[in-house]
A and B are shown apart, each in its own frame.
Chain A
Amino acid sequence: MTRTIIAFLGLLVPLAASAQDVPEAAPVTVPVEIRAAPAASGSGPASVLIAGGKVHTLGADGTIEGGDVLISGGKIVAVGRDLVAPEGAQVVNARDRIVTPGLMTSYSQLGITEIELVRETADVETSGKVAEAAFDVADAINPNSTLIPITRIEGITRALVAPLDGPHVFAGQAAIIHLGNGPDLVVKRRAGMFAFLGPVGGNMERYRRPESWAAFREAIAEAREYQAMKAEAGRIGQPRDQRNARIDLEALLPVIAGEEPLVVYADRASDIRQALAFGAAENVKLVILGGTEAWEVAKELADAKVPVLIDPEHNLPQNFGSLGSTLANAKRLDEAGVTVAFSSASEQYAHNARRMGQLAGNAVANGMPYERALAAITKNPAEIWGIADTYGTLEAGKDADVVVWDGDPLETGTAPVAVFIKGERMALESRQSKLRERYRDLSQKNPPFGYR
């Protein structure tokens, strides 16, 4: 219940304002009280000082060479040079290391799928028989999924978990999770309403564009009717003859109120323009997913302050809606002032959410400035999804999602040496590391593999 209230308050913060609402950056010199603070006691994690790294704060302090990050009670309490470890604090030597916020994917099925083709493990899309807009992934998050540790040991600490496209227009609602220890991974419910309009990915079974837009507009109109009726004292139920089910209209209320982002999948430039026109007319908070031709609409997107979720490796005409696909997309959108976040659309949305660093690296290789690409997997998603008050930069007051890397986090050969999620240090272990150790030595000696 507490979580729901917090999430609700978060939704009230408009996107554009959220960057200004984050706490002021910590001063470089640590206040005396922090220097003298005793080690955290009670149920919270002890203090940790990550010392002497190259710290990409993504915040007002930019990048600090030889910088420290002090963590206590699950939060970042200070970032700067020459911080002093409180008594009893764990010190992580980050000399010659790089320190960043934990990374985030902005479109994944982490926690709602174990094996895509084992259907009972994959709560990834609605059948459309019971719930469409009301399909809420937060109801299905499994904190024991093996994907969680496999992903976090590669430095991903947050994920937008969203449905795949279903049979109709609305795919359902996304949630934000952290990838730390369970049981409760959900940071924010109702993080975004996902809609897929028109042909997607060459799927010719889907409605034609005008048909899906008609259904979409009708749903929004019915939600407004439903809202009006609900506001009238003493009325229950829903207006007669509505095509959409009450539970779906209920789910659309935060969307029409401009609180919950409406995420529209659109690759073709004309589809993006159509979504922009709708967003402006209906005064909803729009986000574009896909966006392979978004660079052609960059100025309109920037003017409307509509962010775009792209896969920066997309460069093929994978369908007739993405003929303008180019590796320059990330760079061009960024130059135009569009807020960009990355997710993997090309291969595996869930199992390789860990490729975030490589995606950003490829954006850099194709012209996007380094810090901007790093922001597309940290700070930008925090702002887009309305969690910038707790995540996205290394600044005092934020949740301590901090990763210490053995090199450039966007490079192919790099891995974390330490991962903190909400201040808790994660064991760098997963089902995959256990398989590796079991088969490290193939010699046929005792004990047999099953005992190793």
Chain B
Amino acid sequence: MAGIKGGDLPPWGAGLAVLAIVVLGLVFSGPGAAPEKEKAAAVAIPADSFPSTYEPLPSRTTVIRNATVLTGTGAQIDDASVLMKDGKIAAVGADIEVPDDAVVIDGEGKFVTPGIIDAHSHLGVYPSPGAAAHSDGNEAIKPVTAEVWAEHSAWPQDPGFARAIAGGVTTLQLLPGSANLIGGRSAIVRNVSSRTVQGMKFPGAGHGLKMACGENPKRVYGQKGGPSTRMGNVAGYRAAFSKAQAYKRKWEKYAADVEKGKEAEPPERDLQLDTLALAIDRKIWIHNHCYRADEMAIMIDVSKEFGYKIAAFHHASEAYKVADLLKANDICAAMWADWWGFKLESYDGIPENIAMVDAAGACAMIHSDSEVGVQRLNQEVGKAMADGRRMGLDIPPARAVAWMTSNPAKALGILDQTGTLEPGKRADVVVWSRDPFSVYAQAEQVYLDGALVYDRDDGALSPRTDFELGQVPGRTNTGGAGQ
């Protein structure tokens, strides 16, 4: 399945070359692709053997008028309209032309934001109900399992997905757990009702890779052959990436040989090293569970040693202590508003963390790590914004909204497609009953690629998972998004 015949680029070239090979690989490895070139082509490692089959749902041209619009780009536009056409944002502003056939939504008194993006979710991999039979988030058999993919665990029928849509969440990163040093690939998904996980996968978004600092790996493996210390953890990351470097060189040599016209046998694929090699090539970005400031600094140096990109430190309770370092290295921090103290490495978490990271000019975001918290990321941002203001930081709502929209989009590499209300982007839009940072705010309508996927006032417009069908006869209003 990995073969292509044709093309002449090395499989591990820099920049676009690799992407081109990967794309060609997908194109030419399908049935009927006939070898025909005289020079043998290099076999490439596919970046994704489980491609997205997501298709936007049918949508109508829709305009939301007279609303307060927080664009996610730092702007607040009062009495503004948002026009969605062909699944895209077509126009945003106080004075826009509305097509005659547009469905008109009166946004008087309401707020409009981009769809919320949760960069840290275990929906699907630790679904509800939380039975052992559903516990699919940690392949806790050895400390490095870069070969596993969260999408192979994710259950699309998790009722948590439906609840999250009522919280305005349109895109999620589903991550493996943090038992392992390197836990496996993440899946970036659209929050859409689907029979298959491929039907949810964000087209073109690729994968992240979960890594974990600190207590969890050493707790899980301390009595099982290690690592049992933080220094053991770091040795573990470095050993894994060192092997991946050697693996990558083998493929490069093979590609060079093919390029020279030599008879060459492709190296045997190693699924673990495939992932790590793609990470070294910065095609897969690292999402690093890491609480302590000093450990983040160590991980930054490890990333430089091997060349991989840390997109974000997750949980990052102490990000406020090294916000300057995060800014200098262009690394985001995904944080909670107020979780702290459940373990020693989270003991220094403070409510001003997000605001302080943002104020230092680094990329700050909220994340949930919770099937409950994911439903109220707007409230969590509201708390974090207020905590920042009370310490004297000037954080208007137009800025704070980025913590749940454009900044997570940046960390997931999908900011060109979603995360802001800018013309040409996917029309992922939430209409809020009022200021979204209020505890009383409700997501009234949620649009995904311009299609209305949730309407608080219309029971029929609410996804219901297979699991919750008919559980208890006679119950009404069971299992919907707004349950």
Query: Would A318 and B341 count as touching, CB distance under 8 A?
Result: no
Q: B439-479 interface mask toward A, CB cutoff 8 Å, 1 = contact, 0 = none?
A: 11110000000000000000000000001100110010110
Known: A324-B472, A362-B376, A413-B382. A202 touches B130 (CB 8 A): yes
Interchain CB contact (< 8 A) of B128 among A114, A317, A361, A411: A317
Known: A347-B339, A347-B370, A365-B440. A319 touches B130 (CB 8 A): yes
Query: Would B128 and A439 count as touching, CB distance under 8 A?
Result: no
Bound form: Cα–Cα A322–B320 in Å:
38
Closest to B349 in A: A432
Residues in chain A near residue B467, CB distance under 8 A: 317
Within 107-156 of B, Cβ neighbours of A (below 8 Å) are at: 128-132
Q: B349-361 interface mask toward A, CB cutoff 8 Å, 1 = contact, 0 = none?
A: 1111000100010
Residues in chain B near residue A201, CB distance under 8 A: 130
Closest beta carbon of chain B to A417's beta carbon, Å: 10
In this assembly, does A442 line the interface, its C-beta being within 8 Å of a C-beta of chain B?
yes
Q: B402-445 interface mask toward A, CB cutoff 8 Å, 1 = contact, 0 = none?
A: 00000000000000000000000000000000000111111000
Closest beta carbon of chain B to A336's beta carbon, Å: 16
Residues in chain A near residue B349, CB distance under 8 A: 432
Bound form: Cα–Cα A324–B323 in Å:
43
Within 335-384 of A, Cβ neighbours of B (below 8 Å) are at: 346-348, 350-352, 354-355, 358, 361-362, 364-365
Bound form: Cα–Cα A314–B163 in Å:
11
Closest beta carbon of chain B to A124's beta carbon, Å: 12
Query: Would A412 and B439 count as touching, CB distance under 8 A?
Result: yes
Known: A316-B159, A317-B467, A358-B439. A347 touches B343 (CB 8 A): no
Closest beta carbon of chain A to B163's beta carbon, Å: 6
Known: A316-B159, A365-B439. A442 touches B324 (CB 8 A): yes
Query: Would B342 and A348 count as touching, CB distance under 8 A?
Result: yes
Query: Would A320 and B129 count as touching, CB distance under 8 A?
Result: yes
Closest to A118 in B: B344
Q: Name which of A202, A322, A439 has the most chain B CB atoms within 10 A of its CB.
A: A439
Choose, from B65-73, B88-96, B175-183, B384-392, the stretch at the interface.
Answer: B384-392
Query: Would A147 and B379 count as touching, CB distance under 8 A?
Result: no
**Interface size class, chain A:** 35 or more
Closest beta carbon of chain A to B442's beta carbon, Å: 7
The dominant DSSP class at the B interface is loop
In this assembly, does A415 line the interface, its C-beta being within 8 Å of a C-beta of chain B?
yes
Bound form: Cα–Cα A98–B450 in Å:
42
In this assembly, does B160 line the interface, its C-beta being within 8 Å of a C-beta of chain A?
yes
Query: Would A351 and B339 count as touching, CB distance under 8 A?
Result: yes
In this assembly, does B348 line the interface, its C-beta being within 8 Å of a C-beta of chain A?
yes
Known: A115-B344, A324-B472. A436 touches B483 (CB 8 A): no
Bound form: Cα–Cα A247–B470 in Å:
47
In this assembly, does B208 line the interface, its C-beta being within 8 Å of a C-beta of chain A?
no
Closest to A319 in B: B129
Q: A8-49 interface mask toward B, CB cutoff 8 Å, 1 = contact, 0 = none?
A: 000000000000000000000000000000000000000000
Bound form: Cα–Cα A288–B288 in Å:
41
In this assembly, does A236 line the interface, its C-beta being within 8 Å of a C-beta of chain B?
no
Bound form: Cα–Cα A93–B129 in Å:
50
Closest beta carbon of chain B to A272's beta carbon, Å: 14
Query: Would A442 and B475 count as touching, CB distance under 8 A?
Result: no
Residues in chain B near residue A436, CB distance under 8 A: 320, 350, 352, 356, 391
Closest beta carbon of chain A to B111's beta carbon, Å: 14
Q: A80-122 interface mask toward B, CB cutoff 8 Å, 1 = contact, 0 = none?
A: 0000000000000000000000000000000000111110000
Residues in chain B near residue A354, CB distance under 8 A: 338
- Supply 15 A–B pairs (Cβ within 8 Å), ascending by A: A115-B347, A117-B343, A147-B341, A315-B375, A316-B371, A347-B372, A351-B340, A358-B383, A361-B439, A410-B439, A412-B382, A412-B439, A413-B385, A432-B340, A439-B320
Top 7 closest pairs, chain A to chain B, by CB: A361-B439, A413-B386, A412-B382, A117-B343, A351-B341, A346-B372, A432-B350
Beyond known contacts A362-B379, A439-B320: 6 more, CB 8 A cutoff: A117-B342, A316-B483, A346-B372, A350-B341, A412-B383, A412-B437
